[in-house]
Amino acid sequence: MGGGKRFAYPKYVWSPTGGWWCEPRNWKRNTAIAFLVTALLTIPIIQYDYNHMRRSRPAVKTVPWQRFAKHAIEDDPKLAEQ
């Protein structure tokens, strides 16, 4: 009992996900590359957002990421006091 044994499976069955006990070659490298590409694409988007973020009204509660915004002090005078 348990999951230690692998049973015999038909070799002629094809699956787009890799079939039984799929362990593709270089999966760790491919995963690391995917995370790196995602980070490299996300960082410029976040920077663009911080440079263009404006608030029509001051926030009721403290917004932690607002201090990174380019126009934060203009939009919320309470931040200038801090």
Q: What is the pLDDT of residues 10-63, one digit of tens each?
A: 777 777 777 777 777 898 999 999 999 999 999 999 888 888 877 777 767 777
Segment 61-78 shows an average pLDDT of 74
pTM of the prediction?
0.55
- Report the alpha-carbon distance of residue 26 to residue 35 in Å, rounded: 14
Which of 67, 68, 69 is closest to 82 using CA atoms? 67
Confidence label for 5 from pLDDT (cuts 50, 70 and 90): low
Query: In this predicted structure, what is the pLDDT of residue 4?
Result: 63
Q: Which of 56, 72, 74, 75 lies closest to 64, judged by CA?
A: 72
